[in-house]
Every structure is written in C-alpha cells, then in structure tokens.
Amino acid sequence: MNKNAIKSALNQFSAVVITGGSSGIGESFFNAIHSLNDNALYCNFSRSKPKIIESKNGFIHFPCDFSITQELNSQCSKLINILTEKGGDEKILLINNSGFGTYGQFPEPNSESQMNMLAVNICAPVYLTARLMPLLIKRGGVILNVASTAAFQPLPYMSTYAASKAFLMHWSLALNEDLKDTGVSTLTLCPGPTKTNFFVRAGFIESPMSYYPGQSSEEVVNTALLALVKGKTLTVSGWINRLLVFFSSKLPKLIVTKMAAIGLRLARLEQFKKDQ
Ligand SMILES: NC(=O)c1ccc[n+]([C@@H]2O[C@H](COP(=O)([O-])OP(=O)(O)OC[C@H]3O[C@@H](n4cnc5c(N)ncnc54)[C@H](OP(=O)(O)O)[C@@H]3O)[C@@H](O)[C@H]2O)c1
C-alpha cells in the first residue's frame, strides 16, 4: 500500500475530529493525517492544548475534561455549530482516542478515578458519536475508535480499564452493522503496549515500556491508516499483539484471566509504581 493511496483516502475528509490529540497516539494521528491532508478543518478535544498544526482550513482546540459532563455537552454543541458553518460538506473523520487506565488492585488509586475512567473511555465516545451522528450521516464518514488488545480478555490489576475497552470494541463493532448503507462506517483499532504517556498517567513513576518491548505511536497510527484505506472494521496493531489476541480470545475466559494474573505478577510492574 503506497503513500498515495493513503493520501487519496484521507483527502475525502473535509473535517477531522480527534479526542486526545495532545499526546501519544492522538498526537501521532494529527501529525500523520495532516502531513497528507492539508485541506481539512482539524478539531481536538482534550484538557491540555495540543501542538497547533497549521492547516489551511483551521485548527480548533476544544478544551474539555471528559469526566465533567457539562463541559462535554457544551463543547459538543460548539463543535456541531462550527462543523455546520465551516466544516465543508465532505466526509468527517471522527477519532475517539482519549482514554486512560490505572494499574493496581481494584479500586486503586481511588473510587473517583474508576468513575472518571468510565466517563472518559466509554461515556465520552458514545456521547460525542451520538451528537455527531446526524452530521455524519448527512456527509458520510468514518468513526475510528481506539480500543486496546486489553479488550479481548479480562485483565487483573487493570480490571476497569480492560472492561472499558471491551465495551468500546463491542460497541464499535455493533455500530458498524447499525450503520450499514448509511455511508458511515466504524474502524476499531486495538493497539498493544505502546510507548506514550499512558503508563505514567496510569500511576507509574517510569514507563515499564522502557524495559519491555512495544510499538511506537507512529507504528500504531500507520496500522490504523492502512486499515482505513482497506475499509477494515477491526485492526490489531503489530504481529505479536495479533498472535496474543488470537490465543487469548480462543482460550476459556477463566484460564486466560488466571494466566494474565500470573504473567503480570511475574512482570512485577508494581516496582515502577509511584507509591513504591
Ligand atoms: N499506550 C498504550 O499502551 C495503549 C495501548 C492500547 C490502547 N491505548 C489507548 O490509546 C489511547 C491513547 O492513549 P495514549 O497511549 O496515546 O496515552 P496518552 O499519551 O496518555 O494520551 C491520552 C490522551 O487522552 C486524553 N485524555 C485523558 N484524560 C482525558 C480527559 N479526562 N478528558 C479528555 N481527554 C483526556 C489526554 O489529553 P489531556 O491529558 O490533555 O486531557 C491525551 O491526549 C487511549 O484510549 C488508550 O487507552 C493505549
């Protein structure tokens, strides 16, 4: 698949809406898409402002903490007004990427962070997608949902996070069928461990990714864009991750949960945690 094929697929979109473009995979999505399509209106939702990209049709940052419902509601309304007024009338690419996890015995670090995780990883993508749906159906588009390889199995010590990603993956796959013949489709992206701020945000003093193998955010985004061009519905990034999810989704849930717990205990990830 050459760069021109990706470029022409991306140039169908006159508006690109990304959540969590301020860091990691979201930032790499912005950079990769913008390098191939300078004509779209770019919109970002996150708490911190991402590096501004110069785009002919503009770049708008919507400061928003997804764990605060009123902020999400009002910023969604602003986005819809702007897309209606100046987002062109071609396809929309919506990338639901914002998300975070925590590591530790439930409910570490506290009950509030568990609730916030559900708000950011589940409620925000569902709400944002629902609000944008009339425009998406009118103009056509793709909804790219960033789930995880954690979506394929229960994950001890990251129980809420893995279950939130299982929700996102199943919702995204079912939505694709709901949307059949509407001109809108979904793509579910499942990265494995990736070198971003994710692990520091999850409560580690230092990312275990410095010691264990993993992909870069650019590699993950490259996989996603290739899948988008090919019109895929689900893509797991990296061949090791594809192999792991193949086996974890075939094995009985109880066995795979026990195996994950043993593996994580042996990896002794708690040595990297802030409270150690
Ligand atoms: N890194 C991995 O190993 C890995 C593996 C599989 C899946 N993923 C998924 O990939 C996605 C991107 O994560 P990443 O690895 O790029 O981590 P990251 O570098 O920590 O980026 C997370 C992004 O989510 C945004 N975010 C977090 N909390 C938010 C909130 N309350 N409201 C709005 N936005 C919020 C952050 O923006 P602000 O902080 O500016 O708000 C940031 O831009 C996540 O959904 C994650 O679950 C990551």
CA dist., res. 11 & res. 173, Å (int)? 25
Mean pLDDT for 96-116 is: 97
- Its pTM stands at 0.97
Mean pLDDT for 1-5 is: 82
Q: Is residue 100 within 6 Å of ligand 1 at its C-beta?
A: yes
Residues 6+ apart with CB under 8 A from 79: 17, 43, 45, 62, 132
CATH 3.40.50.2000 fits 3-272, yes or no: no
- For residue 53, pLDDT over 80 is answered with no
Cα-to-centroid distance, 181 and ligand 1 (Å): 31
- pLDDT score, position 1: 61
- For residue 135, pLDDT over 60 is answered with yes
Mean pLDDT for 101-123 is: 97
- pLDDT score, position 128: 98
Q: Counting runs of H as helices and runs of E as strands, what totals does the chain give?
A: 10, 9
Q: Which residue has the higher pLDDT, 267 or 148?
A: 148
- pLDDT for 28-43, tens place per residue? 999 999 999 999 999 9
Q: Is residue 208 within 6 Å of ligand 1 at its C-beta?
A: no
Q: Which residue has the higher pLDDT, 272 or 74?
A: 74
Token match 């400061």: residue?
Answer: 63
Cα-to-centroid distance, 93 and ligand 1 (Å): 18
Pick from 152, 142, 133: which is nearest to 227 by CA?
Answer: 142
Q: Is residue 260 within 6 Å of ligand 1 at its C-beta?
A: no
- For residue 88, pLDDT over 60 is answered with yes
Substitution site in 18, 23, 236 for ligand 1 pocket (most atoms within 8 Å of beta carbon): 23
Substitution site in 29, 47, 152, 245 for ligand 1 pocket (most atoms within 8 Å of beta carbon): 47
- pLDDT for 154-208, tens place per residue? 999 999 999 999 999 999 999 999 999 999 999 999 999 999 999 999 998 877 7
Residues 6+ apart with CB under 8 A from 125: 19, 96, 98, 145, 168
- pLDDT score, position 254: 98
Helices 3-10 and 217-229, axial angle in degrees (round to 10): 70
Torsion angle in degrees (nearest 10) through CA of 208, 159, 173, 1: 10
Cα-to-centroid distance, 63 and ligand 1 (Å): 15
- pLDDT score, position 273: 79
Ligand 1 atom with the smallest distance to the CA of 201 is: 20
Q: Is residue 50 within 6 Å of ligand 1 at its C-beta?
A: no
- pLDDT score, position 87: 64
Q: Is residue 20 within 6 Å of ligand 1 at its C-beta?
A: yes
Q: What percent of the chain has pLDDT over 90?
A: 87
Ligand 1 atom with the smallest distance to the CA of 25 is: 16
Mean pLDDT for 20-24 is: 98
- pLDDT score, position 275: 65
- pLDDT score, position 272: 79
Q: Are the C-beta atoms of residues 55 and 37 closer than 8 Å to each other?
A: no
Q: What percent of the chain has pLDDT over 70?
A: 99
Ligand 1 atom with the smallest distance to the CA of 98 is: 24
Mean pLDDT for 117-128 is: 98
- pLDDT for 216-232, tens place per residue? 999 999 999 999 999 99
Domain boundaries, the chain: 3-272
Q: Is residue 61 within 6 Å of ligand 1 at its C-beta?
A: no
- pLDDT score, position 209: 73
- pLDDT for 233-270, tens place per residue? 999 999 999 999 999 999 999 999 999 999 999 988 87
Cα-to-centroid distance, 237 and ligand 1 (Å): 16
List the residue whose alpha carbon is closest to atom 7 of ligand 1.
148
Ligand 1 atom with the smallest distance to the CA of 196 is: 19
Across the chain, mean pLDDT equals 94
Residues 6+ apart with CB under 8 A from 263: none
